[in-house]
């Protein structure tokens, strides 16, 4: 953020055009507002009410009042004045959120924790980034589609649930985060299908993804974790630019065969589903670095050693009785979690895992830690069985 006092003319204009005009904004800026300028134009604004009444915060208010001859007589009075002033400031900034449309040059806005945001925010035609967090009563307006320059949109913990089709009509959207909103359905019509690079729909209540998701051909990161998805579209594998895919905590019993086309994946996670068969094609993902498959009923394939770039493997809670000998070929593996399986022994080839730093093997049927594990050169600590 630019130093605010270097742009006093723009700041004066900002105060004059909003409901902050009758308030000493100097106490707001350090805690609640962050402002960035381009010349005499305000282009970035961050608003937050996430301030606690800690001793440090009260001391700052204390100093503020002392400079104005307002020092309270005792700490209890300071506490009350701090609380009252805090509430007054929050109300003031909450009201101010209704004035955002007057700042026509804004390119980036971040709002946290306020219940009132004016729908006229959609008049900010230069806006490229909009982040709204923990705004319970926030309602989407069809006029959101007017923000045609918007590239980054994050609306999380706002309990949107429905009426989100306008979001997917934004033509230049690249990064979209709609996590933790209680969303149940994703619209079929996705206008931003060629521009979207990252999509986070985690922690919702989605039961199925539309087949049109496969048209998002430039998607590189996709997070669908913590939903209620039982089946993925058959042509899901058309998302062949994906490098990150998170399917954790869903209801998947199998993965579509088309996923074999996701050869650019560096991280794939399908932990805590209902999978009983390891997808054989995964061992052909030569770029794969992180593999998460905990909490299913899977057995590692005999050719797991083909994943020569793998650095992290999480296979805990799978009822595994055997580890393939080829695991010793994972020369770059740094973290291995085999907790809570049914292993009675470990293959001696694991002694070749020279890059291994962390290994977790507790909750199995092992009677002792093999010497070839104890001698691994980079192991930070001996595992617990």
All residues at 6 or more sequence positions from 208 whose CB lies less than 8 Å from its CB, including other chains:
229, 230, 231
- Concatenate the DSSP letters of all residues of 280-328 into one string: GGGGG-TT--EEE--SS-----TTGGG-TT--EEE--SS------GGGG
Over 70: is that where the pLDDT of 79 sits? no
Residue 200 has pLDDT above 50, yes or no: yes
More confident residue, 56 or 380: 380
Q: Give every CB contact of residue 160 below 8 A, 6+ residues apart in sequence.
A: 138, 140, 178, 181, 182, 183
pLDDT for 56: 44
153 beta partners: 130, 176
Q: Assess whether pLDDT exceeds 80 at residue 66.
A: no
Angle between helices 55-66 and 75-96 (to 10 degrees): 90
Provide the sign of the torsion angle of the four alpha carbons 94, 99, 101, 103, taken in this order: negative
Whether residue 324 is predicted with pLDDT greater than 50 in this model: the reply is yes
pLDDT tens digit string along 105-153? 888 888 877 666 666 778 888 899 999 888 776 777 778 888 999 999 9
Cβ atoms of residues 345 and 366 within 8 Å: yes
Question: What's this model's pTM, rounded to 2 decimal places?
Answer: 0.84
For residue 104, is pLDDT > 80? Answer: no
Q: What does the alpha-carbon distance between residue 108 and residue 184 come to, in Å, rounded to a whole number?
A: 28
Pairing of strands 152-156, 175-177: parallel
3-class secondary-structure state, position 222:
strand
Q: 76 pLDDT exceeds 50?
A: no
Q: What would the pLDDT profile of 234-262 be if each residue is shown by its tens digit? A: 999 999 999 999 999 999 999 999 999 99
For 322, list phi and psi in degrees, rounded to 5: -150, 145
Listed residue (33, 42, 38, 34) closest to 11, CA to CA: 42
Q: How confident is the model at residue 83 (pLDDT cuts 50, 70, 90)?
A: low
Average pLDDT, the chain: 81
**pLDDT tier at 176, thresholds 50, 70, 90:** very high
What mean pLDDT is predicted for residues 81-96?
A: 52
Domain definitions of the chain by residue range? 4-96
267 pLDDT more than 80: yes
Q: Region 355-375: what's the mean pLDDT?
A: 96
């Amino acid at each position: 953020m630019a130093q605010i006092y270097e742009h006093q003319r723009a700041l004066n204009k900002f105060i004059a055009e909003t409901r902050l005009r009758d308030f000493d904004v100097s106490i707001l800026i350090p805690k609640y507002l962050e402002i960035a300028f381009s010349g005499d134009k305000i282009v970035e604004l961050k608003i937050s009410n996430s301030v606690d009444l800690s001793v440090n915060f009260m001391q700052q208010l204390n100093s503020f009042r002392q400079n104005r001859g307002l020092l309270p007589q005792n700490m209890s009075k300071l506490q009350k004045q701090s609380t009252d002033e805090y509430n007054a400031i929050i109300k003031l900034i909450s009201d101010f959120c209704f004035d955002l449309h007057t700042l026509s040059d804004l390119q980036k806005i971040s709002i946290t924790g306020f219940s009132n945001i004016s729908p006229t925010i959609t008049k900010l035609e230069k806006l490229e980034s909009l982040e709204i967090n923990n705004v319970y009563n926030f309602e989407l307006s069809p006029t959101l589609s007017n923000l045609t320059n918007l590239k980054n949109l994050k609306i999380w913990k706002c309990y949107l649930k429905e009426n989100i089709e306008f979001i997917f009509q934004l033509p230049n959207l690249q990064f979209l985060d709609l996590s933790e909103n209680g969303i149940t359905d994703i619209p079929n019509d996705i206008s931003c299908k060629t521009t979207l690079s990252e999509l986070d729909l985690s922690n919702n209540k989605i039961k199925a993804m539309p087949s049109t998701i496969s048209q998002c051909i430039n998607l590189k990161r996709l997070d669908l974790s913590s939903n209620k998805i039982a089946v993925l579209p058959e042509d899901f594998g058309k998302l062949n630019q994906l490098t990150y895919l998170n399917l954790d905590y869903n209801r998947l019993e199998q993965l579509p065969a088309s996923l074999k086309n996701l050869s650019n994946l560096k991280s794939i996670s399908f932990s805590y589903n209902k999978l009983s068969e390891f997808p054989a094609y995964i061992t052909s993902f030569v770029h794969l670095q992180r593999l998460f498959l905990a909490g299913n009923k899977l057995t590692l394939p005999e050719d797991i050693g083909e994943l020569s770039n793998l650095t992290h493997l999480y296979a805990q809670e799978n009822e595994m009785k055997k580890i393939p000998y080829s695991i010793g070929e994972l020369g770059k593996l740094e973290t291995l979690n085999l907790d809570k399986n049914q292993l009675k022994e470990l293959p001696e080839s694991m002694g070749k895992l020279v890059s291994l730093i962390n290994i977790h093997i507790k909750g199995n049927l092992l009677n002792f830690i093999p010497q070839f594990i104890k001698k691994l050169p980079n192991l930070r600590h001996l595992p617990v069985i």
